[in-house]
């Protein structure tokens, strides 16, 4: 067949309306997938951009050594924007007459360009919210945390001294984007210009200084930079991205991505089903057509290539129009949600469009080609005998579709695990569905014998065409199941996220409480706030020995054992001091994973280790650790290993000792508590009564985490709605594809005297019964799949959903009866002769 | 009889049924000369339509040979048989078998397009003129009466210039008067083109217009190729 003949055939089929369902299905497939991909891609980029404000950059290189110029040059070569940040602790002094108050501050000296991502916030008054600003302190000026003001007894405009240099206090610093990195950056912040640092003469060899090179740029140059310098990074420089910077955000993002991906996968599957249904209908309506063509001399190859050609023409049209549709839909979503999406979405990459295009063609090949290839085998004898059997074996169709879906899903998601779970769920439930649907239809027929005429007619109709109806129940059930899966997983995800930062999460840390003040502070907190916690003693100490070996020897031995002579050292560091605490009880947010907690009144010196810390340092139960605490030695045996919820915003410790080990050593105390916004003044009161204690306000961090989680939640819900509409369209396509046969039967009944009411009633009842059955099988499939997804992919706790067992079938009944009625209403009201001629 | 353009030797057709194998055609031998007009008659279920399908290469016999225009079509695959049909066979069916989604003109163009005729449109228009439907070219089958539809089908059958025309109850779905007109048209065009005609019918009057008649009963030829008495 020549191309021009194929085009002529395609245009005639189009004119006759034969290709519309197929094209619509294809448009839906490409449109839904590209709309979801485009939106997800842009949202993803936006979320990443948003989250990078947590770092104040896209990536950072941290070190206790100055950043080598080689790194800067390599970054400049790749067009990466950079800003230097130096942090160091320093005493800050009030520099006015008669005021000699001072406090240890964490000084951050920044170069022009900082912050590369996110915005600073400043205010004129301490403890107020402040406003965003693009400025930095002018040279000779500093901005300070609220709590430095009462502690130093200064106000904006006063002078303070850092080292040998005096500065004017220019503003109150109320938020900085990269504050969230570490809760252990306890001291209040003082922000100044990097060029002012030398004059302070604070930075000397041996000072504790943190050097940071903040980087901003596209993923590709950043990755290339990492590859170029990764060798030199180890062991002294740390390369960090948002995922390392904050575990909560990182995990929320990962899960959201998985979910959006899952949504995309389901949309692809639904679209594939719609394409298959459209192609089946097209093919069935062409049996006679093909038989006639064959009598006129069309060979089987002509038929095969001709219809493949028509399919490609449609595929091309569907793909191009689908992309346009997808782009429009995604713009529509963005426009509709503009109010809820207060972030600017960056431009999408080319991948979403490519995904849409390839999806369209694979859908065609896997789902539409098999029914069309069946046309090749149509016997020309059909022109004489209409009843001749025909068609491909369903097994061939199904295997094509399964292979197609598998390929598409793996390629699309790049996540074999997720794909296999989704598909395994589909296949297993598919076979369970088929046998259940058959049983339900048989049972329905028996019940129907006793029912009124409308129901008897409906149930007899279902039983008579049981093959088609089993298939339709499977399709309906599958579509409803996919929708339920989305709904359940979404609910579980969002609940989990919301639970991470519940109302009343501690938003202030209290540190440096002296042992003589502890009781008074506890008293004050309990009486003035809703505080119910306890103060943890904090003792600084160094680990000097492991199992009688010096820590250094232990580290060398571990290095040899685990990584060979060139591996990084493993073992407790002897250099820095650690925060130690003691407790009679296992603290909240801690779970024992090995060993037992010590008795409250025990007298043995024991130590409990955080699980990752134990693993990293090669320590296990029974090992003995030797400590140096303010010059006094202490030995304690490892009694148990704990897992800690680091995100809980409660004080957490790597090492907890038994009271017997640490009691008597000089300690300061710490705790965390929640203080509502309107009670912030309490802080001034607390600091006035206990000027030496340190208060750290983490409200900003919590608000940032909440903001990101809210947006991820919105994204997740949006995708749910998109998949939902794809699902409804599949239902419509499915009802369309079975319409002809149903209508022919019912038109015959009407010709024999059935009233419209009877026929309409029977049609709606038939669809309602199909809906109930489909809802039932969908619930079973959804429960199983969601269980697997929650436990295997999203790592969420799982509970079954009793309400679903009632809601699923009811939803199926209402939805399918409604869609079925709307799809057939017009023809029920046309004269039977018209219907018989049309179908 | 002139040189046979169509012949069958020992053609048998059996089909499996629930009650075992059913023999539909049993040892059919026949030969039709080029330009002859042969009617195949018999009662319903006698195997007429099955025989037509096999002679035209639409179906294969269980055993036996069929020769059409010098080719043994029973030894060919569907691909080659389709080519033979395209080259030398035309059909007229009881139920017209026009394609609903195509206009009258497009239906007639189909066989010409399939063989790559560049003047398909003009040729098809000529044939529609000859069957008296020159004014109805843009009408769809459902907008035409039964008689008109069959005239379109006849135009389509002759458009490709077939050597053998197979007609299966061509007037079976038409009233007597319309049927007579359609039959006249069929025979007139056939005579003009000198086409061989194989006509399946149980209408004795129609059969009598053919030069010869084959009578089938229970799958066997009971009156072999009687020359009609003019």
pLDDT recorded at residue A469: 74
B-contacting residues in A 379-398 (Cβ below 8 Å): 379-381, 383-385
CB atoms within 10 A of CB A439: 11
Which one, of A150, A41, A103, lies nearest residue A412 by Cα? A41
Residue in B73, B127, B137 with CA at minimum distance from that of residue B105:
B137
Phi, psi of A303 (to 5 degrees): -60, -50
CB contact under 8 A, B82 and A381: no
Ramachandran angles phi, psi of A565, nearest 5°:
-65, -25
- Whole-number Cα distances in Å, A158 to A149, A169, A301: 10, 6, 91
Q: How far is B3 from chain A (nearest CA, A)?
A: 24
Of A370-379, A479-488, A631-640, least confident by mean pLDDT is A479-488
The SS3 assignment for A644 reads strand
CA A477 to CA A801: how far, in whole Å?
17
User: Does the N-terminal peptide bond of residue A794 adopt cis geometry, omega within 30 degrees of 0?
Assistant: no
* Type and span of the H or E element at A711: helix A699-751
Q: Give the one of A5, A18, A381 whose C-beta lies nearest to B58's C-beta.
A: A381
- CB atoms under 10 Å from CB of A280, counted, come to 25
Q: Which residue of B has its CA nearest to A383?
A: B97
Choose among A288, A297, A302: nearest Cβ to B111: A297
Residue A80 has which token pair? 């990466």
Residue B15 Cα, gap to closest chain A Cα (Å):
12
DSSP output for A1-25: --HHHHHHHHHHHHHTTTTHHHHHH
Confidence of residue A218 (pLDDT cuts 50, 70, 90): confident
State how far residue A836 is from chain B, nearest Cα, in angstroms: 12
Sign of the dihedral through C-alpha A290, A294, A298, A303:
positive
Residues 6+ apart with CB under 8 A from B165: B89, B90, B91, B92, B157, B158, B190, B195, B196, B197, B198
Is A18 near chain B, with CB under 8 Å? yes
- List A109's β-bridge partners, or say none: A86, A192
Distance between CA atoms of A633 and A661, rounded to whole angstroms? Answer: 11
- DSSP notation for A415-467: -HHHHHHHHHHHHHHHHHHHHHHHHHHHHHHHHHTTS-HHHHHHHHHHHHTHH
Q: Which residues of B touch A379 (CB under 8 A)?
A: 58-59
The model's confidence at residue A484, banded by pLDDT at 50, 70 and 90, is: confident
Average pLDDT value for residue range A700-710? 67
Residue B56 with chain A: CB contacts under 8 Å: 295
H/E run at residue A633: strand A632-644
- Let me know: does A609 contact A624? Beta carbons within 8 Å: no
Distance CA A549, CA B153 (A): 103
* Backbone φ, ψ for residue B85 (5° rounding): -60, -45
Q: Percent of chain A having pLDDT more than 90? A: 6
Query: Which residue has better confidence, A700 or A300?
Result: A300
Q: How far apart are the first and last CA of chain B?
A: 16
Q: Is the pLDDT of residue A585 over 60?
A: yes
Task: Evaluate whether A546 touches A554 at the Cβ level (below 8 Å).
Answer: yes
Q: What is the mean pLDDT of residues B108-119?
A: 87
The three-point CA angle B124-B130-B136 to 5° equals 65
Instruction: Please state, in angstroms and rounded to a whole number, the distance separating the CA atoms of residues A70 and A258.
Output: 38
Q: Give the gyration radius of chain A's Cα atoms.
A: 35
Instruction: Tell me which chain A residues have a C-beta less than 8 angstroms from the C-beta of B59.
Output: 379-381
d(CA A780, CA A775): 9
State yes or no: pLDDT of A802 exceeds 60. Answer: yes
Which of A3, A7, A295 is the best residue to mutate to test the B interface, defined by the most B CB atoms within 10 Å of its own CB? Answer: A295
Indicate if the pLDDT at residue B229 is higher than 90.
no
Q: Quote the pLDDT of residue B128.
A: 92
Which tokens belong to A645? 């919820």
- The whole-chain average pLDDT of chain A stands at 78
> How far away is chain A from the Cα of B211, in angstroms, using its nearest Cα?
24
Q: Which residues of A touch B113 (CB under 8 A)?
A: 5, 8
Q: What confidence score (pLDDT) does residue B31 get?
A: 92
Q: Which residue is listed with tokens 């009877």?
A: A758
Pull the structure tokens for residue A234. 């180890």
Judged against a pLDDT cut of 50, whether residue B126 lies above it is answered with: yes
Least confident of A145-159, A514-528, A741-755: A741-755
Q: Which residues pair with A637 in a beta bridge?
A: A606, A624
For residue A704, give both structure tokens.
């940032």
**Which residues in chain A touch residue B91, judged by CB atoms under 8 angstroms apart?**
295-296, 383
Top pLDDT among A801 and A447 is at A801
Contact (CB<8Å) B91/A295: yes
Contacts of B212 (CB under 8 A, 6+ apart): B36, B37, B38, B39, B225, B226, B227, B228
Q: Shortest CB distance from A300 goes to which of B82, B98, B142?
A: B82
Contact B55, B166 (CB under 8 A): yes
CB contact under 8 A, A295 and B101: no
Give A 295-354 residues with CB within 8 A of chain B. 295-302
Q: What is the pTM of this model?
A: 0.63
Token pair listed for B146 = 């039964």
DSSP state of A234: T
Does any CB of chain B come closer than 8 Å to the CB of residue A292? yes
Q: Give B208 to chain A, closest Cα distance, Å.
A: 23
- Neighbouring C-alpha atoms within 13 Å toward the C-beta of A220: 2
Q: Which residues in chain B have Cβ-Cβ distances shorter than 8 Å to A293?
A: 110, 114
Phi-psi region of A517 (alpha: psi -120 to 50; beta: other; left: phi over 0): alpha
The two three-digit tokens of residue A154, written as one number: 């200064």
Per-residue confidence band for A184, with pLDDT thresholds at 50, 70 and 90 = very low
Could you tell me which residues are beta bridge partners of residue B91? Answer: B166
Q: Give the pairing of strands A189-193 and A549-550.
A: unpaired
Task: Grade residue A231 by pLDDT with cuts at 50, 70 and 90.
Answer: confident
Residues of B in CB contact (< 8 Å) with A are 49, 52-53, 56, 58-59, 78-79, 82-83, 85-87, 89, 91, 93, 97-102, 106, 110-111, 113-116, 142, 156, 160, 168
In angstroms, what CA-CA distances link A7 with A25, A367, A799? Answer: 20, 22, 55
Q: Are A297 and B160 within 8 A, CB to CB?
A: yes
Structure tokens at A825: 């209403």
* CA A647 from centre of chain: 17
Neighbouring CB atoms inside 10 A of B184's CB total 11
Contact in structure between A173 and A167 (CB atoms under 8 Å): no
Scanning every residue of chain B, which has its alpha carbon at the shortest distance from the alpha carbon of A834? B142
- Tallying the residues shown for chain B, one arrives at 230
Q: What is the value of ipTM here, to two decimals?
A: 0.89
Q: Give the model confidence (pLDDT) of A244-279 as tens digits.
A: 555 556 666 666 666 666 676 677 777 777 788 778
Contact predicate A244/A98, CB 8 Å: no
Name the 3-class secondary structure at A190: strand
Say yes or no for a CB contact (<8 Å) between B89 and A5: no
pLDDT at A133: 87
Of B49, B102, B156, nearest to A12 by CB-CB distance is: B102
Q: Which of B86, B100, B106 is facing A296, going by the closest CB pair?
A: B86
From the CA of A314, how many Å to the nearest CA of chain B? 18
Count of Cβ atoms closer than 10 Å to residue A755 Cβ = 10
- Mutation target among A292, A296, A303, A837 for the B interface, most CBs of B within 10 A: A296
Q: Are A111 and A83 in contact (CB under 8 A)?
A: yes
């Amino acid at each position: 067949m020549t191309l021009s003949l194929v085009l002529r055939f395609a245009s005639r089929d189009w004119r006759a309306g034969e290709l519309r369902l197929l094209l619509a299905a294809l448009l839906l497939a490409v449109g839904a997938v590209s709309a979801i991909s485009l939106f997800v891609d842009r949202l993803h980029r936006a979320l990443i951009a948003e989250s990078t404000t947590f770092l104040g950059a896209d990536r950072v290189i941290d070190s206790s050594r100055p950043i080598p110029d080689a790194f800067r040059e390599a970054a400049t070569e790749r067009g990466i924007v950079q800003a230097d940040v130096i942090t160091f602790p320093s005493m800050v002094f009030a520099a006015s007459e008669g005021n000699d108050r001072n406090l240890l501050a964490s000084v951050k000296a920044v170069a022009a360009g900082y912050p590369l991502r996110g915005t600073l916030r400043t205010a004129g008054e301490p403890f107020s919210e402040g406003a965003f600003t693009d400025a930095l302190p002018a040279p000779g000026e500093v901005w300070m945390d609220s709590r430095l003001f009462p502690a130093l007894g200064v106000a904006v405009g006063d002078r303070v001294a850092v080292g040998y240099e005096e500065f004017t206090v220019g503003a109150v610093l109320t938020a900085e984007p990269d504050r969230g990195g570490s809760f252990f950056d306890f001291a209040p912040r003082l922000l100044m210009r990097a060029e002012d640092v030398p004059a302070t003469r604070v930075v000397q060899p041996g000072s504790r200084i943190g050097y940071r090179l903040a980087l901003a740029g596209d993923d590709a140059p950043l990755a290339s930079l990492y590859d170029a310098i990764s060798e030199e990074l180890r062991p002294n420089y740390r390369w960090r991205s948002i995922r390392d910077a904050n575990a909560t955000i990182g995990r929320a993002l990962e899960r959201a991505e998985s979910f959006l991906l899952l949504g995309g996968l389901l949309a692809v599957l639904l679209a594939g089903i719609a394409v298959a249904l459209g192609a089946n209908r097209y093919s069935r309506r062409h049996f006679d057509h093909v038989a006639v063509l064959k009598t006129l001399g069309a060979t089987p190859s002509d038929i095969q290539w001709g219809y493949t050609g028509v399919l490609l023409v449609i595929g091309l049209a569907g793909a191009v129009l689908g992309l346009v549709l997808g782009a429009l839909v995604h713009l529509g979503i963005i426009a509709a949600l503009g109010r809820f999406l207060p972030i600017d979405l960056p431009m999408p990459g080319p991948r979403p469009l490519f995904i849409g295009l390839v999806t369209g063609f694979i859908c065609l090949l896997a789902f539409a080609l098999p029914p069309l290839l069946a046309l090749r085998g149509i016997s020309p004898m059909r022109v004489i005998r209409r009843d001749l059997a025909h068609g491909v074996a369903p097994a061939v169709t199904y295997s094509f579709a399964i292979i197609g879906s598998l390929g598409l899903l793996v390629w699309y998601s790049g996540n074999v695990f997720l794909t296999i779970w989704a598909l395994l769920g589909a296949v297993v439930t598919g076979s369970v569905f088929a046998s259940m649907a058959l049983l339900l239809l048989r049972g329905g027929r028996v019940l129907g014998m006793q029912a009124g005429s409308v129901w008897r007619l409906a149930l007899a109709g279902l039983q008579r065409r049981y093959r088609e109806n089993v298939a339709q129940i499977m399709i309906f059930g599958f579509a409803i199941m996919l929708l339920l899966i989305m709904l359940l997983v979404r609910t579980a995800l969002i609940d989990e996220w919301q639970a991470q930062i519940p109302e009343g999460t501690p938003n202030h840390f209290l540190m440096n409480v002296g042992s003589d003040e502890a009781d008074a502070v506890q008293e004050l907190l309990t009486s003035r706030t809703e505080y119910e916690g306890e103060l943890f003693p904090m003792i600084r100490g160094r680990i000097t020995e492991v199992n009688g070996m010096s820590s250094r020897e232990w580290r060398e031995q571990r290095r040899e054992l685990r990584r060979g002579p060139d591996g990084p050292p493993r073992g407790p560091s002897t250099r820095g001091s650690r925060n130690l605490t003691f407790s009679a009880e296992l603290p909240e947010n801690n779970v024992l994973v090995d060993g037992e907690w010590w008795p409250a009144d025990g007298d043995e010196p024991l130590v409990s280790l955080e699980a990752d810390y134990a693993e990293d340092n090669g320590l296990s139960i029974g090992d003995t650790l030797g400590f140096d605490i303010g010059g006094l030695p202490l030995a304690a045996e490892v009694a148990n290993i704990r897992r800690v919820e680091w995100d809980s915003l409660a004080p957490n410790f790597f090492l907890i000792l038994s009271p017997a080990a640490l009691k008597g050593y000089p300690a300061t105390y710490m705790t965390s508590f929640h203080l509502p916004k309107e009670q912030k003044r309490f802080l001034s009161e607390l600091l006035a009564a206990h000027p030496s204690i340190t208060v750290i306000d983490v409200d900003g961090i919590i608000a940032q985490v909440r903001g990101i989680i809210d947006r991820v939640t919105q994204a997740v819900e949006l995708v749910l709605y998109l998949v939902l509409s794809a699902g409804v369209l599949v239902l419509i396509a499915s009802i369309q594809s079975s319409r002809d046969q149903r209508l022919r039967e019912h038109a015959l009944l009407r010709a024999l005297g059935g009233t419209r009411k009877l026929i309409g009633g029977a049609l709606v009842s038939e669809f309602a019964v199909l809906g109930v059955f489909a809802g039932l099988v969908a619930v079973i499939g959804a429960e199983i799949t969601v269980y697997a997804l929650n436990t295997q992919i999203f790592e969420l706790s799982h509970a079954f959903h009793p309400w679903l067992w009632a809601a699923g079938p009811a939803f199926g009944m209402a939805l399918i009866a409604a869609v079925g009625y709307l799809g057939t209403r017009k023809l029920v009201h046309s004269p039977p002769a018209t219907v018989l001629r049309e179908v | 009889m002139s040189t046979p353009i169509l012949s069958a030797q020992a053609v048998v057709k059996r089909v499996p049924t629930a009650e075992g194998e059913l023999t539909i055609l049993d040892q059919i031998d026949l030969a039709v000369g080029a330009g002859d007009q042969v009617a195949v008659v018999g009662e319903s279920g006698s195997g007429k339509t099955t025989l037509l399908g096999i002679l035209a290469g639409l179906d294969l016999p269980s055993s036996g040979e069929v020769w059409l225009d010098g080719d043994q079509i029973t030894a060919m695959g569907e691909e080659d048989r389709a080519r033979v049909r395209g080259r030398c066979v035309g059909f007229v069916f009881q139920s017209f078998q026009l394609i609903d989604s195509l206009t009258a003109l497009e239906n007639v163009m189909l066989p010409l397009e399939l063989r790559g005729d560049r003047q398909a449109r003009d040729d098809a228009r000529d044939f529609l003129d000859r069957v008296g439907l020159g004014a109805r070219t843009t009408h769809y089958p459902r907008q035409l009466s039964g008689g008109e539809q069959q005239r379109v089908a006849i135009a389509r059958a002759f458009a490709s210039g077939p050597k053998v025309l197979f007609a299966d109850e061509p007037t079976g779905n038409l009233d007597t008067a319309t049927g007579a007109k359609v039959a006249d048209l069929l025979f007139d065009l056939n005579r003009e083109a000198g086409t061989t005609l194989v006509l399946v019918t149980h209408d004795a009057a129609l059969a009598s217009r053919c030069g010869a008649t084959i009578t089938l009963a229970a799958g066997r030829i009971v009156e072999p190729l009687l020359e009609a008495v003019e």
